């Protein structure tokens, strides 16, 4: 019997970097498909900031935590190698929540076929969680109008880079916040952002004044951190803040304080958090909204590809520190 | 020529208690009504937390600041004593933004007549800024559903006391937060709140667990302060937070930090600030919504009446410390 590798959650992570003791690398026997089942050989696993939250024991969050002992939860892409299911043929490429595993047994539920012509990197970078999240957050939460100014944190990240490009395509003035000069250069030179702020080295307040002289109408928050304290001072009346991620705080032992709320009143701000599991029923609509931008060449991306299933563990830490350049994924 | 007293803003207040040097008490000559004008003898001036904000020099806030040298801005109620205006007769009772002055010259613009049968105290406590603010914030911002749990800070205050009673009348479970035991007792025993938390002496977290066992769906924020840090932990998914006031921070030298934003994502919260000047066009609708609750005896209030125009200065400090018991106003 041949075996394959999977990675299970051994214990809940402590604050700080995620150690290898958090996981168990296990060998399993390659299964056969039962009646109505398919076997998927996963070829790419997606690594997303939300996964950090799924590992905590918080039972009140928006989806149940990964159970200790269970295969780590993640989305990915693979190829059907065995099928007892009428809707799936050998060789079909599928995407879905397969977890950290080389092989995945499924009834097909929750798996979507990947259309021909879309590469695995494009599928995971644009048409999976990042693109859906960007589309939902920008259009249905932040509700942009042409001519408005938007500031996106985590702007070189998987979600932020798409948010900025969608906003730019719709006629907004787009400022990105990122953590190093290479990322800042990439979002301006390659993605077409109107300006970039390096939150580690720039005077954030001065840069906001310079790059957003008419104030900020929309803040798309992916990171948390110092930007929050400054952005309140630059928001315009009736500004909207879409709260999508807080990657800088997910592994912090003491989450950072937020800004004082007086500007929420003075500027009549709306601050709204959202997560994609609330909106899975809308995925067809979101894809219909997103796809024309992609087809018109308006959504560029870059994939940061790690090799081998065990590299996923270090990959999570790259998300925490921002060491990844582009959408992080693991090639199996 | 007879004279009357008005109070002008002498300088912008420093953080901390508002000193008498902030104002000038001036004597003016009682005017005569010009063509199309009326003269109002003001009998009651309303003191509201929002006035603290109007005194700061913040030109980016929701209404322009009171100019240094100008009569201090406030709403009030009075009697028409001279009229060259066809719509106003001698003896008519009117309400509007008359400021800290015994006499007020007006073209009638922005003044509303007070219907017979409504006392001055009821007019300023319920049918003026407090009731309009409570109605707008509860129904149009927080959007309550019967059976939900609401927590109101500043619950014994002019707005909070009405918010809680409106919510209770609509079948919500209502918890109030106030700063002394007498206020806590009043909102439960007299106003019918389901529970009260003394934020100065109670273990807020334990009290929220006890009084809101099903979690909190709506937080109506009038004060700022420690309640914010705790409320995030008790909010339910898709909870709404209406941010109406931050009285505890208005005169602080260093505004307090807000809570970390991770719960905004995990619970998909909506936090929305509002101020009444955005909604003046809706006042007839808001009064139409509010009045039936009043007519059915569901809105109790208590007025805290100071005597004499100069008592308004100390009155502002009562708002800052919470020393007032009920809607604060000055009888002239």
**CATH, residue A110:** 3.90.180.10
- CB-CB under 8 Å, A259 with B274: no
Does B255 have pLDDT greater than 80? yes
Residues 6+ apart with CB under 8 A from A153: A160, A177, A199, A219, A220, A221, A222, A223, A224, A225, A227
Mean pLDDT of A181-197: 98
Which of B228, B266, B274 shows the shortest C-beta gap to A61?
A: B266
Tell me, yes or no, whether B206 lies in a domain.
yes
- CB count within 10 Å of CB A314 equals 14
Domain presence at residue A297: no
Do A175 and A34 share a structural domain? no
Is the distance from CB of B64 to CB of B80 less than 8 angstroms?
no
Domain count, chain B: 2
Instruction: Using DSSP, state whether B138 is helix, strand or coil.
Output: helix
- pLDDT attached to residue B59: 85
| pLDDT beyond 80 at B1 | no
Predicted ipTM of the assembly:
0.93
CA torsion, ordered B159, B164, B166, B167, to nearest 10 deg: 140
A140 and A253 part of one domain: yes
pLDDT top residue among A280 and A151? A151
Question: What b/e readout covers A116-154, taking b as 16+ CB neighbours within 10 angstroms?
Answer: eebebbbbbbbbbbbbbbbbbbbbbbbebeeebbbbbbb
> What is the rounded radius of gyration, in angstroms, for the C-alpha atoms of chain A?
20
pLDDT average, residue stretch A8-30 = 95
The per-residue pLDDT for A20 is: 95
| Neighboring chain A residues of B224 at a CB cutoff of 8 Å | 260-262
**Residue A310 maps to a domain:** yes
What is the model's pLDDT at position B170? 98
Q: What is the DSSP letter of B98?
A: -
pLDDT surpassing 90 at residue B215 = yes
Give residue B20's domain range: 3-123+302-331
The answer to whether A238 and A268 have CB atoms below 8 angstroms apart is yes
In eight-state DSSP terms, residue B12 is P
* B70 falls within a domain: yes
Enumerate chain A positions whose Cβ falls within 8 A of a Cβ in B.
53, 58, 60-62, 221, 224, 228, 237, 243-246, 249-250, 255-275, 278
Do B53 and B167 belong together in one domain?
Answer: no
Q: State residue B181's pLDDT score.
A: 97
B184/B215 same-domain check:
yes
Determine the pLDDT at residue A184: 98
| Tens digits of residue pLDDT in B100-148 | 999 999 999 989 999 888 999 999 999 999 999 999 999 999 999 999 9
Same domain, A153 and A264: yes
Question: What pLDDT, on a 0 to 100 scale, did the predictor assign at position B254?
Answer: 85
**Residue B162 and residue B155: Cα distance in Å, rounded?**
8
Summarize the confidence of residues A99-127 as an average pLDDT.
94
- Enumerate residues 6+ apart whose C-beta is below 8 A from A33: A39, A82, A83, A84, A85, A105
Are A51 and A74 in contact, with CB atoms under 8 Å apart? yes
* A-interface mutation test, from B219, B251, B260, most A Cβ less than 10 A away: B260
Q: Cβ separation of B275 and A268 shorter than 8 Å?
A: yes
Pairwise CB contact (< 8 Å): A243 & B228: no
pLDDT at B252 over 90: no
CB contact at 8 A, B146 and B172: yes
The pLDDT value recorded for residue A96 is 94
Instruction: Kindly tell me if the per-residue pLDDT of A1 is higher than 80.
Output: no
- Assess contact for B78 and B93: CB atoms under 8 A: yes
Phi (first) and psi of residue B133, to 5 degrees: -65, -45
Which of B58, B257, B269 is closest, CB to CB, to A273? B269
Q: How many CB atoms lie within 10 A of CB B232?
A: 23
Query: Can you give chain A as a three-state secondary structure string?
Result: CCEEEEEEECCCCCCCCCCHHHEEEEEEECCCCCCCCEEEEEEEEECCCHHHHHHCCCCCCCCCCCCCCCECCCCEEEEEEEECCCCCCCCCEEEECCCCECEEEECCCCCEECCCCCCHHHHHHCCCHHHHHHHHHHHHHHCCCCCCEEEEECCCCHHHHHHHHHHHHCCCEEEEEECCHHHHHHHHHCCCCCEEEECCCCCHHHHHHHHCCCCEEEEEECCCCCHHHHHHHHEEEEEEEEECCCHHHHCCCCCCCECCCHHHHHCCCEEEECCHHHHHHHHHHHHHHHHHHHHCCCCCCCEEEEECCCHHHHHHHHHHHCCCCCEEEEEC
Let me know whether A113 and A13 are in one domain: yes
Distance, in Å, from the CA atom of B219 to the CA atom of B175, rounded to the nearest integer, reads: 10
Chain A residues whose CB is inside 8 A of the B273 CB are 261, 263-270
| Residue B297 placed within a domain | no
> Considering only CB atoms, which chain B residues are within 8 Å of A269?
271-273
Residue A12 and residue A113 share a domain: yes
Chain B nearest CA to A266, separation (Å): 5
B205 and B262 fall within a common domain: yes
Q: Whole-angstrom Cα distance, residue A174 to residue A156?
A: 13
Helical residues (DSSP H) of chain B, grouped into ranges: 50-55, 120-125, 129-135, 158-169, 181-189, 204-211, 227-234, 247-250, 262-266, 283-295, 311-321
Residue A44 near residue A33, CB atoms below 8 Å? no
Nearest to A173 by CA among A149, A207, A142, A145: A149
Coil, strand, or helix at residue B104?
A: strand
Whether residue A61 is predicted with pLDDT greater than 90 in this model: the reply is no
CA A107, CA B239: separation in Å to the nearest integer?
35
Residues A111, A147, single domain; the answer is no
Q: Who's near A190: CB < 8 A, 6+ residues apart? A: A300
Q: Which of B214, B205, B203 is nearest to A60 (CA)?
A: B214
Does the pLDDT at position A255 exceed 90?
no
**pLDDT-based confidence at B251, cuts 50/70/90?**
confident
Q: What is the mean pLDDT of residues A130-157?
A: 97
Q: Are residues B68 and B32 in the same domain?
A: yes
Give domain status of residue A140, yes or no: yes
Determine what percent of chain A is predicted with pLDDT higher than 70.
100
Greatest C-alpha distance within chain B: 68
Q: What is the pLDDT of residue B52?
A: 93
Nearest alpha carbon to residue B160 among B319, B1, B330, B43:
B319
Q: What is the pLDDT of residue B58?
A: 87
Distance CA(B82)–CA(A261), nearest Å, equals: 45
Q: Which CATH number do you get for residue A253?
A: 3.40.50.720
Within-domain flag for A283: no
Residue A123 has pLDDT above 90, yes or no: yes
Contact A265 B243 (CB under 8 A): yes
Report the pLDDT value the prediction gives residue A274, as an integer from 0 to 100: 97
Instruction: For residue B274, give the chain A residue with the closest CA.
Output: A268
B137 within some domain: yes
Confidence of residue B212 (pLDDT cuts 50, 70, 90): very high
- Least reliable range by pLDDT among B52-66, B182-196, B256-270: B52-66
pLDDT at B253: 82
In chain B, residues with a C-beta closer than 8 Å to the C-beta of A243 are 261, 264-265
Above 90 in pLDDT, residue B275? yes
Q: Are B265 and A275 within 8 A, CB to CB?
A: yes
Average pLDDT score over chain B = 95
| pLDDT single digits (tens) B226-246 | 899 999 999 999 999 999 999
Q: pLDDT tens digits, residue range B23-80?
A: 999 999 999 999 999 999 999 999 999 999 999 988 888 899 999 999 999 999 999 9
pLDDT (mean) for A153-162: 97
Average pLDDT, chain A: 95
Q: In this predicted structure, which of A315-324, B56-65, B194-203, B260-269 has the lowest mean pLDDT? A: B56-65
Same domain, A230 and A327: no
pLDDT confidence bin for B203, thresholds 50/70/90? very high
Residue % of chain B over a pLDDT of 90: 90
- Tell whether A103 and A197 lie within a shared domain: no
């Amino acid at each position: 019997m041949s075996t394959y590798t999977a990675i299970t959650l051994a214990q809940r992570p402590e604050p700080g970097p995620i150690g290898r003791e958090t996981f168990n690398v296990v060998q399993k026997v390659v299964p056969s498909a039962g009646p109505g089942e398919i076997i998927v050989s996963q070829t790419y696993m997606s690594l997303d900031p939300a996964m950090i939250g799924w590992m905590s024991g918080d039972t009140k969050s928006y989806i149940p935590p990964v159970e200790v002992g269970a295969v780590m939860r993640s989305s990915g892409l693979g190829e059907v190698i065995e099928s007892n299911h009428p809707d799936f043929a050998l060789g079909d490429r599928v995407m879905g929540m397969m977890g950290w595993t080389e092989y995945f047994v499924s009834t097909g539920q929750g798996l979507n076929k990947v259309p021909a012509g879309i590469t695995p990197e494009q599928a995971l970078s644009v048409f999976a969680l990042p693109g859906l999240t960007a589309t939902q957050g920008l259009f249905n939460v932040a509700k942009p109008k042409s001519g408005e100014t938007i500031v996106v944190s985590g702007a070189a990240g998987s979600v932020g880079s798409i948010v900025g490009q969608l906003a730019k395509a719709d006629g907004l003035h787009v400022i990105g916040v990122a953590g190093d000069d290479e990322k800042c250069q990439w979002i301006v030179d390659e993605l077409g952002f109107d300006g970039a702020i390096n939150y580690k080295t720039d005077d954030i307040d001065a840069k906001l004044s310079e790059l957003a002289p008419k104030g900020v109408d929309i803040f798309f928050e992916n990171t948390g951190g110092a930007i929050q304290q400054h952005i309140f001072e630059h928001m315009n009346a009736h500004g909207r803040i879409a709260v999508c991620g807080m990657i800088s705080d997910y592994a912090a032992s003491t989450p950072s304080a937020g800004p004082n709320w007086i500007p929420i009143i003075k500027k009549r701000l709306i601050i709204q958090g959202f997560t994609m599991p609330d909106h899975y029923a809308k995925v067809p609509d979101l894809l219909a909204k997103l796809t024309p931008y992609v087809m018109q060449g308006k959504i560029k991306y870059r994939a940061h590809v790690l090799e081998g299933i065990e590299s996923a563990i270090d990959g999570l830490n790259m998300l925490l520190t921002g060491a990844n350049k582009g959408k992080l994924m693991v090639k199996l």
